[in-house]
Each structure stands twice: as structure tokens, then as C-alpha cells.
């Protein structure tokens, strides 16, 4: 017995049968449910504590306060807002959190919005590249990384910008539309983190090498990134001549630190210590190994 099918037009063109459409609808509902469950699990430890153990949260939340004060001063403040400087996207959730939560809840709400952005990036990538929702659920563990606990919110939100860029490279090679979308994504990458902007350019260059059929659209995308790469270079050169200086001091070479037991646990899970972290890392490694083995078996490889 065959199921009756009702043909309808797909957004991607062609006809889609009703059973197939229902399968996709159920799949979207499952992904939405997994995302909602993960969001609750991720946000609970952030919202339930008065002072989340995030190194740079307090000064960044205070900068959100200064931003609102400077914006409302009508030009009479001693501070100035660098509107075109890169690495500024994290102030959007922090300012929004302060507007919604005030002094008591502002920092926590801003931090929660940052976490939701990173979580959305993981689940967006899983959906776009047809990975199972279970993989997105497990990958969400890495939100609690050293970057998060260090307070590098621009870098965490940059994951979302990079995920959108990766999804853009998979779109149909329409050169003009690709360039327009790339301009918007380039701005998002620039204001997220310059390292993610460089990673996006590198990914586009790799796409240019492995997919010659989409070469024209990829070249348009790279051209759209060019002004933001130039702006980042100019900003970096201007900072080099200012009084601002920064640096990193290592007590031992990074390669030796990477060989120490527990290094990857510290790097991936932010330095939290306990029996759960190595067990979690082992489970994730086994999951990846099982996925690779299943993929090879499905492809008929020995």
C-alpha cells in the first residue's frame, strides 16, 4: 500500500510530496525542541548565580553603563564612542541586558544573550549542513570554554557570524546577491572579531580552490570582505601608534603546555576542575569516532 501524496512547490524549486514535507517539518520541530532544551540547560548556571565566574564580565558590563551615559550626555561627556572600531558586537547584548535588567540583572542578562548567540551558531551549522540534532546538543558543551570564562564575548559571538558565513558559501552561486549578502556578513564579522573575519576570508579562499563551479560568486564574496579587511588593518596600525599596548607572557612554550595532561580539558572547558570534564571529553571523542566509523561503513570503505 502506498501513501497518497500531494505535490506542492518547494522553496528550492521542484515538487515535494506531502510525506517528505511532513518529515522535514517534524525534523524542524525536533531541532527546535533540542535547541530549547539546550538553551535552558546552558542559561541556568548563568542566570541562577549572582556573580557568574567570568573574568571580564564586570568591566565589560561597566562599559555598557558608560556607553549609555555617554550616549545620553548630548556630547558633554569626557568619553567618546568609537563607532567604527572592530570587536564591538558584544556591547549590543550587554547594553540590552542593562536596559532590561538594570544594575542587578543587567550583566547576567547580557551574558545570557551572548550564550544564546553562540548556541544559535552551533545549531544553525548543524541544521545547515544536515547534522543530527544530537551532535548539536553535544557540541553545545563547548560553549563553556576558556574564551567564555575569560570574557571574550566578541569571540564567542563571532562564532555566530562565522556560522552564517559558512552557510552563505553553501548558497547557490548568484554573484550579485552573494556580494550583497557578503557585505552584511563582512560587517558582522568585522564588528564581532577580526580573527573571525580573517577566518572567513581563509574559508572563502579554500572554497575558491575546491569549488571552481562557484568561483565567480566566491570572488564577489571575497571582494565584499576586502573593505573590512582594509579597515581592520588601518585600525591595527592606528592602535600601534597609541599608548595602548597589550601582550601575552608564557611561563613555558605553548607547545610544551599542549603536551601536559589536562591541557585540552582546561582549554575546552574553561579551567573548571572535577571528574566530569575528562569524562565529558571522553564521551565526545567516542561520539566522533563512532560517527566517523559509521560514515566510512556507509560509504563502503574498509
Helix/strand/coil (H/E/C) assignment for every residue in 244-291:
CCCCCCCCCCHHHHHCCCCHHHHHHHCCCCCCHHHHHHHHHHHHHHHH
Is residue 204 within 8 Å of 167, Cβ to Cβ?
Answer: no
Query: What is the rounded distance in angstroms from the CA atom of residue 225 to the CA atom of residue 233?
Result: 13
Nearest to 199 by CA among 208, 209, 189: 189
* 276-293 pLDDT tens trace: 777 877 888 888 888 888
Q: What are phi and psi of 54, to 5 degrees?
A: -115, 125
Q: Encode pLDDT of 119-143 as tens digits.
A: 998 898 888 888 888 888 888 888 8
Q: Quick one: cell of 135? A: 551532535
User: pLDDT per residue over 22-40, tens digit each?
Assistant: 556 668 888 999 999 999 9
CA 111, 165, 133, 149 dihedral sign is negative
pLDDT class of 6 with cuts at 50, 70, 90? very low
pLDDT of residue 39: 92
Computed on alpha carbons and rounded to an integer, the radius of gyration of the chain in Å comes to 22
Q: Which residue in 293, 294, 288 sits closest to 138, CA to CA?
A: 288
Q: What does the pLDDT average to over 259-275?
A: 65
Summarize pLDDT for 85-125 with one digit per residue, the tens: 888 888 889 899 999 998 889 889 999 998 898 899 889 88
Instruction: At 42, list the grid cell.
Output: 546552558
For position 13, what pLDDT does the model report?
A: 40
pLDDT of residue 190: 93
**Under a CB-based contact definition with an 8 Å cutoff, are residues 157 and 117 in contact?**
yes
Amino acid at each position: 500500500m502506498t501513501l497518497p501524496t500531494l505535490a506542492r512547490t518547494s522553496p528550492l524549486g521542484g515538487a515535494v510530496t506531502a510525506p517528505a514535507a511532513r518529515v522535514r517539518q517534524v525534523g524542524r520541530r525536533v531541532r527546535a525542541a533540542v535547541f530549547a532544551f539546550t538553551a535552558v540547560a546552558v542559561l541556568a548556571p548563568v542566570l541562577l548565580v549572582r556573580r557568574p565566574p567570568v573574568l571580564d564580565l564586570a568591566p565589560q558590563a561597566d562599559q555598557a553603563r558608560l556607553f549609555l551615559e555617554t550616549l545620553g550626555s548630548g556630547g558633554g561627556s569626557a568619553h567618546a564612542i568609537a563607532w567604527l572600531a572592530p570587536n564591538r558586537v558584544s556591547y549590543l547584548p550587554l547594553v540590552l541586558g542593562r536596559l532590561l535588567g538594570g544594575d542587578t540583572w543587567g550583566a547576567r542578562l547580557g551574558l545570557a544573550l551572548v550564550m544564546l548567540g553562540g548556541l544559535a551558531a552551533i545549531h544553525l551549522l548543524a541544521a545547515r549542513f544536515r547534522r543530527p540534532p544530537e551532535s548539536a546538543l553535544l557540541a553545545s558543551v563547548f560553549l563553556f570554554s576558556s574564551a567564555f570564562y575569560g570574557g571574550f564575548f566578541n569571540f564567542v559571538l563571532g562564532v555566530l557570524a562565522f556560522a552564517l558565513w559558512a552557510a552563505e558559501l553553501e548558497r547557490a552561486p548568484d554573484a550579485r546577491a552573494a556580494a550583497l549578502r557578503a557585505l552584511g556578513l563582512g560587517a558582522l564579522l568585522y564588528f564581532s572579531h577580526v580573527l573571525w573575519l580573517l577566518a572567513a576570508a581563509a574559508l572563502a579562499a579554500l572554497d575558491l580552490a575546491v569549488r571552481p563551479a562557484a568561483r565567480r560568486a566566491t570572488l564577489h564574496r571575497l571582494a565584499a570582505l576586502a573593505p573590512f579587511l582594509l579597515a581592520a588593518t588601518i585600525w591595527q596600525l592606528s592602535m600601534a601608534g597609541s599608548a595602548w599596548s597589550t601582550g601575552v607572557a608564557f611561563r613555558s612554550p605553548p607547545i610544551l603546555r599542549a603536551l601536559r595532561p589536562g591541557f585540552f580539558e582546561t582549554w575546552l572547558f574553561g579551567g573548571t576542575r572535577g571528574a566530569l570534564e575528562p569524562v565529558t571529553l571522553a564521551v565526545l571523542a567516542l561520539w566522533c569516532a563512532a560517527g566517523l566509523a559509521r560514515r566510512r561503513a556507509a560509504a563502503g570503505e574498509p
